[in-house]
A and B are shown apart, each in its own frame.
Chain A
Amino acid sequence: MFDNLGQMLMLLWRTLRELGATWHQRRKVAEQLFEIGNASLLMACILSLFIGGVLALQTGPTLAERGLVSFLGQIVGLSMCRELAPVMMAVLIAGRIGSAMAAEIGSMTVYQEIDALKTMNISPVRYLVLPRLIAISVALPILVLFSVLVGWTGGALVASANYQIALSMEAYFNSLRSGVGLMDLLNGLAKSFVFALVIGIVSCQQGLSTIGGPRGIGRSVTKAVVNSIILILILDYFLTRVLMHLD
């Protein structure tokens, strides 16, 4: 499945070497940012609200039975920012944005637009991959930050509204504030930055290596999304390990 891991690393390297051209491509970066925000903000909001809510719902009653309900804010707060928001937002963006990137670049490959760029001495890496990679690695951490805040709110709503938990908003947020530090937030943002690189590179690489006409585009899209998600979940474990040591 990861026969193209080498090609992906190669593409990442080639993109990083083009970083100097970012300013020249700023318009395309902005377009991509707008597209990502447009396609994902509402969904991210709904998703995060319910994740925070269900987290409170699952743990709240048990904590309440044992008289530990005052820790609920901390539990929801930490799970949200260290784990759930980065992973869930990455999965969402892989499905929403990674697929679109693979499809767009894939169709450009199939219809020889990439070849045309090359004959004009325009590097597809600089022209197509760079702006997408920059945009996604800026957008995903911002989205995660947003998701964390919404998720906390979701947890707070459920904690105060559910009669088995019955934790006031104030108590919830006090617990959250005492248990969640800036490092925890940065931890999640660091993860999401790596996930963004994964999604961008996997999707662009799949797009660029599309073969076999329009059906090949469909195959590329599927592979981009599936491979991104698998890589994200695997990397999540190892990143968690590494970041634990840094705390």
Chain B
Amino acid sequence: MNPAVPHPDGVSIRVRGLRKTLGGQEVLKGIDFDVRRGEIFVIMGPSGCGKTVLLKHLIGLLTPDAGEIWIEGEPIHSDGVLDRHRMAMVFQSGALLNSLTVGENVGLYLSEHRLKPPEEIARVVAEKLALVGLQDAADKMPGELSGGMKKRASIARALVSEPQLILYDEPTSELDPLMAVTVGEEILNLNRRMKVTSVVVTHDRDLAFGIGDRIALMSDGRILALGTPAEVRQTPHPLLREFLTASFQFQPAA
């Protein structure tokens, strides 16, 4: 297939030998993996192991020190790749623009690129906000939202560009269990309906095993295991076993 023609569905990603040093510390120590078109690829791992840094490489916010990333077979830093393939990222903190209302945030992509007339934008914004259960929040400022609401607004904002690749950084942290399930289902729905490729970074084991087509377990800048949920569950690596099975044990006072 001609790599210059964007794929209507999701995009594929290939990562080879990715290394990155930040602030004198090697954060990514040689990462290799492939994400297939239209799948949900989950990256799990302990806090601080480099998941967010990895995601930022996949959308071109950071440049690798060594190694290469291809989107649909094209090196990510060659001209126009990031323009041709629509990608969106849901940031860990939401990263809504504080000076705009929630509605303006969600519609920003459309209004700034002048893709639709204002009435049409308002309609799309309302639709996307309703999708994440925020239909009443359009006129609020981000400062008036809870952490979970910000995250959901951020998901709505990501959906507006009808992306071929969505990167989710901890989509369910700060959400109550019910909302976490709703968001998880929405990620799954979007993926199935629009064939969008999704990369989900999470600590949430339920989410990872519930929606992941494949799961990568990451620790200290390396991927230690990669496979289907069933395969990953069998991983022999002791650290990962601990990460996968650790649970809170309450010891009542005698």
Contact = CB atoms under 8 A, between A and B. Distances in A.
A113 B113 contact: no
Contact of B91 (A24, A108, A112): A112
B98 to A, nearest CB: 7
Contacts of A50: none
B63 interface: no
Contacts of B56: 115
A119 interface: yes
A118 B157 CA distance: 13
B57 to A, nearest CB: 12
Main secondary structure of the interface of A (DSSP, over half): helix
Interface stretch (A39-47, A120-128, A171-179): A120-128
A206 B65 CA distance: 25
Interface in B93-125: 93, 95-99, 108-109, 112-114
B161 A120 contact: yes
A116 B109 contact: no
Interface residues of B, number: 23
A120 B112 CA distance: 9
Contact of A115 (B61, B96, B114): B61
Interface in A92-109: 104, 107-108
A34 interface: no
B211 interface: no
Given A121-B82, A121-B83, A122-B108, A116 B95 contact: yes
A108, A113, A119 — most chain B CB neighbours (10 Å): A119
A113 B96 contact: yes
Contacts of B108: 120, 122
Contacts of A104: 99
Interface string A116-143: 1111111000010000000000000000
B59 interface: yes
Contacts of A111: 93, 95, 98
Nearest to B62: A115
B96 to A, nearest CB: 7
Nearest to A25: B112
A104 B98 CA distance: 10
A24 B61 CA distance: 26
A182 B109 CA distance: 47
B88 interface: yes
B112 A118 contact: no
A107 B143 CA distance: 14
Interface string B28-62: 00000000000000000000000000001001110
B89 interface: yes
Contacts of B199: none
Given A121-B82, A121-B83, A116 B112 contact: no
Contacts of B95: 111-113, 115-116
Could you say which of B56, B109, B112, B113 has the most chain A C-beta atoms within 10 Å of its C-beta?
B112
B154 to A, nearest CB: 8
Contacts of B216: none
B69 interface: no
A115 B91 contact: yes
A111 B92 CA distance: 10
B93 A112 contact: yes
Contact of B61 (A113, A118, A122): A118
Contacts of B83: 121
Contact of B97 (A24, A116, A118, A119): A116
Contacts of B96: 113, 116
Contact of A127 (B88, B98, B112): B112
A116 B89 contact: yes
B87 interface: yes
B112 A122 contact: yes
Contacts of B109: 120-122
A235 B157 CA distance: 44
Nearest to B86: A121
B59 A121 contact: no
B113 A116 contact: no
A211 to B, nearest CB: 9
A65 to B, nearest CB: 57
A127 B87 CA distance: 19
Contacts of A108: 97-98
8 contacts: A111-B93, A112-B91, A113-B95, A116-B95, A116-B96, A120-B109, A121-B82, A122-B108
